[in-house]
Chains A and B, each alone.
Chain A
Amino acid sequence: MPQNTMIKVENLTKTFGNFTAVKGISFDVKKGEIFGFLGANGAGKTTAIKMLIGISKPTRGTAVVAGFDVQTDSEKVKRNIGYMSQKFSMYDDLTIRENIVFFGGIYGLSRQEIKQKTEQLVQELELENYIDQLVISLPLGWKQKLAFSVAMLHEPQIVFLDEPTGGVDPITRRQFWEMIYAKAHTGTTIFVTTHYMDEAEYCDRVSIMVDGSIEALDSPKGLKEIYGVNSMNDVFLKLARNIE
């Protein structure tokens, strides 16, 4: 596959008994791209992501992530990706520093690297006075930004964000997207799912999953032209209606 293709998915399928959750989807994601992965609840998004991050085995088809096959090389895939889920993904009863040390540790960072990363992170997020406080005492918006930074600790080539901004206020959401942009500029590939259609507008390209298949895949601008509407929200509604 070409050097700048970070994710290559071909005919990826997952069945649970009689139920096919993901029906042979195919797409590519380029390096440094912000790829929006949209779909209603139950459309198969989460199942697809789980296969891409190596915690669920595909029934059929292939997925190559960061140059490694998720079927045969899931270990290497895991080393090269970051992941943040819709659930807040840090330990509440540990301090910020302890969380950094722990997550840095499981990705095999050295003590020196962890120390340096901690300093850098504290500066970026202006957390000087909070570094030794329990995470539970922080406001949700901060936690979310912190979780993103922690997911990026080991400098993964691709980061998967599963509804990262659920339940966060609009200002924090905006700041969060600024962080995402900044990371994408440094060449990190961002794979993000969201429920907010305004966020879909921020993505370079967007795919929309309906009933286990990808029904549309293009830039937000392209999609709006194809469906002749003014917003991603309308694109989404139109697609869902067509299917019904």
Chain B
Amino acid sequence: MNRKVFIGFVKKEFFHIFRDRRSMIILFGMPLVQILLFGFAITNEINNVSIAVLDKSKDVETQKIIHKIAASPYFEIEKVLHAESEIEPIFKSGKVKAVLIFESNFNKKIQTTSLAKVQVITDATEPNTANTITAYVNAILQNYSKEINHNAHSKYDIAIESQWRYNPELKSVYTFVPGVMTVILMLVSAMMTSISIAREKELGTMEILLVSPLKPILVILGKVFPYIFLSIINAIIIVGLGFFVFKMPINGSLFLLTLESILFIITALALGILISTISNSQQTAMMISLMGLMLPVIILSGFIFPISSMPLPMQIISNIIPAKWFISIVKAIMLKGVGIQFIWKETLILLFMTMIFMLLSMKKYKIRLE
């Protein structure tokens, strides 16, 4: 009998979800819009950035480097400058985002001292773009110096080499797919469940359910089950979009990724239940979810702002955000292709947090009943 009752309960829950336009938009519109927005509009990548070049030596080497830069898809040489006085006006006109300056006697210096300088001046009114441009130019130059070192058979030249591992092209898709996935799972699992439980309280139907012979635990399970299902579908949509549309690699085990996602979904559900025990209206549940969950997830999880560049107190606080651990798990699996032996610590932390949330909400639930 219990199974039949449970199925009936879940069916009712799906009626609620499918008949509410707002829920449907959050469930299925949001992941699509977010992924596409982050994928196409908000991007840290640069493409066809206009730059200017001031080549003071005009020798073989500088020509080679300039050709290399011009040939890359990231830059387009808008103008060749002839004097330093031209730099300021061209920035002010807004035509270019960066100017490359090769010092005089570039080739000669490389041959004799093996040290020649290229100056990169960027328009830092857009700091992110400026940073990225510098990084890209650096990458091209490093590459180039590696080549000449190699050709020269010189054992003494030491070139500084930086590498962007796991994301050599610094593609932002690699950070936003895990980020968007985390935000959406949080939104669907925690916010939607807490709102749907609060809704029953607000309408008075929760009382009816508690007076019925249904076990309270069955009521809660019946309420969260549809959202587990929908969250998994959402995770599949997001990873699928990342993989097929934005070519995000999945280097690790898909099975492990699924397990970890289910763990995070349960963490978020436990949080959602906890929120619903302390809020009696949908409005409250939504406000607590948005302020207490979404904001920290977006700001403190490392999704948008790197944790390492936060002030120390913020870095410490970020440790209690479940999303932070999940994002690092997803990145490790998808990009580094690691197995559980490298992410067991993060997994344990999530498990531990989930247990605490569950214990807390059970305690709250009991107090309410008495």
Check if B208 sits within 8 Å of A79, measured CB to CB. no
**In the complex, per-residue mask of A83-104: 1 if CB is within 8 Å of any chain B CB, else 0:** 1111111111110001001110
Interface of chain A residues 70 through 91 with chain B (CB within 8 A): 75, 78-79, 81, 83-91
Q: Counting CB contacts under 8 A, is A106 at the interface?
A: yes
Q: Counting CB contacts under 8 A, is A57 at the interface?
A: yes
Q: With the chains together, A75 CA to B209 CA distance in Å? A: 13
Closest chain B residue to A92, Cβ basis = B203
Q: With the chains together, A60 CA to B331 CA distance in Å? A: 57
Which one, B3-11, B161-169, B250-258, B311-319, is touching chain A? B3-11
Interface centre among A78, A92, A98, A106 (most CB of B within 10 A): A106
Check if B370 sits within 8 Å of A53, measured CB to CB. no
Check if A85 sits within 8 Å of B204, measured CB to CB. yes
Contacts A56-B369, A93-B20: A102 and B12 contacting too (C-beta < 8 A)?
Answer: yes
Check if B211 sits within 8 Å of A55, measured CB to CB. yes
Q: Counting CB contacts under 8 A, is B89 at the interface?
A: no
Q: Counting CB contacts under 8 A, is A36 at the interface?
A: no
B208 CB contact (under 8 Å) in A85, A92, A93: A85
Check if B19 sits within 8 Å of A89, measured CB to CB. no
**In the complex, per-residue mask of A102-133: 1 if CB is within 8 Å of any chain B CB, else 0:** 11011110000000000000000000000000
Q: Counting CB contacts under 8 A, is B42 at the interface?
A: no
The smallest beta-carbon distance between B214 and chain A, in angstroms, is 5
Q: Counting CB contacts under 8 A, is A54 at the interface?
A: yes
Check if B212 sits within 8 Å of A91, measured CB to CB. no
Check if A106 sits within 8 Å of B203, measured CB to CB. no
Contacts A85-B207, A105-B5: A93 and B212 contacting too (C-beta < 8 A)?
Answer: no
Q: With the chains together, A94 CA to B11 CA distance in Å? A: 11
Q: Which of chain B's residues have a CB closer than 8 A to the CB of A105?
A: 4-5, 8-9
Q: Counting CB contacts under 8 A, is B1 at the interface?
A: yes
Closest chain A residue to B1, Cβ basis = A108
The smallest beta-carbon distance between A143 and chain B, in angstroms, is 12
Q: With the chains together, A94 CA to B9 CA distance in Å? A: 12
Q: Which of chain B's residues have a CB closer than 8 A to the CB of A57?
A: 369-370
Q: Which of chain B's residues have a CB closer than 8 A to the CB of A102?
A: 8-9, 12
B15 CB contact (under 8 Å) in A56, A87, A94: A94
Q: Residues of A at under 8 Å CB distance from B?
A: 53-57, 75, 78-79, 81, 83-94, 98, 101-103, 105-108, 134
